[in-house]
């Protein structure tokens, strides 16, 4: 069963790979450097991880204390790039709605 952050990443992955971002909006580095930067500068740690359709690793980093968040994508053998970031991160856990139809 997927936890809510993983489910959110799974749902966002196709959007992140389809919507082009301006080159200036991307900030890339090797994975270890990116993780260290997010921890040191924003207090963020990894909250969820998933694979997109192209086998790129999609990760969500967030700080429950400050509410900052960052989504990164790492292509196979490539650098880790920030593709989105923001504020007011809040982890939620919502059950799926009950359906009258059989599964």
Per-residue pLDDT tens for 13-63?
A: 554 444 444 444 459 999 999 999 999 999 999 999 999 999 999 999 999
pLDDT at 11 over 60: no
Query: How far apart are alpha carbons 103 and 98 in whole angstroms?
Result: 11
Query: What is the per-residue pLDDT for 17?
Result: 46
Q: Where are the domains of the chain?
A: 26-86
How do strand 80-86 and strand 57-62 relate by DSSP bridges? unpaired
- What is the residue whose two structure tokens read 């999609």? 58
The DSSP letter of residue 55 is S
Residue, of 39 and 10, whose pLDDT is higher: 39
């Amino acid at each position: 069963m997927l936890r809510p952050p993983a489910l959110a990443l799974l749902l966002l992955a196709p959007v992140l790979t389809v919507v082009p971002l301006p080159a200036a909006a991307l900030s890339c580095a090797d994975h270890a450097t990116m993780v260290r930067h997010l921890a040191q500068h924003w207090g963020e740690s990894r909250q969820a991880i998933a694979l997109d359709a192209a086998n790129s690793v999609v990760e969500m980093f967030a700080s429950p204390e400050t509410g900052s968040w960052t989504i990164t994508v790492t292509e196979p053998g490539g650098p880790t790039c920030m593709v989105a970031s923001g504020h007011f991160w809040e982890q939620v856990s919502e059950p799926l709605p009950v359906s009258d139809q059989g599964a």
